[in-house]
Amino acid sequence: MSKQKIILITVIILLVIGVGGFWGWRKINSQKAINNNQWTITKTQKAIDNEQQSTDNSQETIDNNQNTIDNKQQTTDNKPQAVTSNQEPVTGGNNQKAIDNSQNTIVKTQQVTENNSTSSTKIVQKLVAWGFQKSSGRKIDTVILHSSYDALGSDPFSVSGVIAEYKQAQVSPHYLIARDGTIYQLVSDQNIAWHAGVAKMPDGRTDVNSFSIGIEMINTQDGKFTSDQYAAVNRLIGDLKNKYPIKNILGHSDIASSRKTDPWGIEWKKVNR
């Protein structure tokens, strides 16, 4: 074989080997790329699976929360409904009886409060031994307001001085209200106090002392009553109305206009008549 043929065969063999090696290397790299792509796909799929699992867990949490809400709502629905003044009771049996009993308790408590309201005003007991006639069971329907002051002493607003004048004249009201609003009781309600004197009611009745309560408020003829006195007399009138069927609240001048002008300077709009 000639030398040229040997060289040609060698070249051909090298070409075949080179081409084969190139295609083999390319195939190996392609397979690696495929494997890498497959690994990426697998990893992505795992991420998708994890995300799906997280979504499923979230949905399960939502479902559990909804069940909790439903259970609470059912519990609320099963509880007795509160009854208001504009609403009918929605439960029956023992629950309704409990509601009725509670309502009865409220009514009874209100009644007790109203019955005890006559003791809501603080009154200082200073009962005197003159100026009244003992009585029992008399019917009281009138309140007469008076005014007086101590004309003999140095202090015209002296409580003890005013009472001393009553003793000297042998008269007395049932109550005396000082300038600071303190209420003194001088004669018991059921006794007939001598406060009105010769008088006549607008309805024609006389002997006014027999069916009236007399209230004196300390004030001079040219003075004014204090705000404490107005507050006190209104509380006292309110208590008397709760105890007796009071129909008339008048001034001394209303029943004895020919000889009396008191209560001096009173503002009737400030009195709860």
For residue 245, CA distances in Å to 136, 138, 208, 239 come to 16, 12, 16, 11
Active site residue 216: yes
For residue 2, CA distances in Å to 7, 13, 14, 15, 19 come to 9, 17, 19, 20, 26
Identify the active-site residue in 51, 88, 114, 216: 216
For residue 39, CA distances in Å to 15, 36, 69, 218, 227 come to 36, 5, 45, 109, 97
Alpha helices in 79-148 (DSSP H): 93-115
Q: Could you give phi then psi for residue 123, rounded to 5 degrees?
A: -125, 130
Sequence-distant contacts of 153-158: CB under 8 A, at least 24 apart:
156/218, 156/220, 157/218
Calculate the dihedral angle through the C-alpha atoms of 76, 81, 87, 92, rounding to the nearest 10 degrees: 130
Rounded to a whole number, what is the distance in angstroms from the first to the last CA of the chain? 154
Strands 175-177, 183-185: parallel, antiparallel or unpaired by DSSP? antiparallel
Cis before residue 173, ω within 30 degrees of 0? no
User: Annotated active-site positions, please?
Assistant: 216
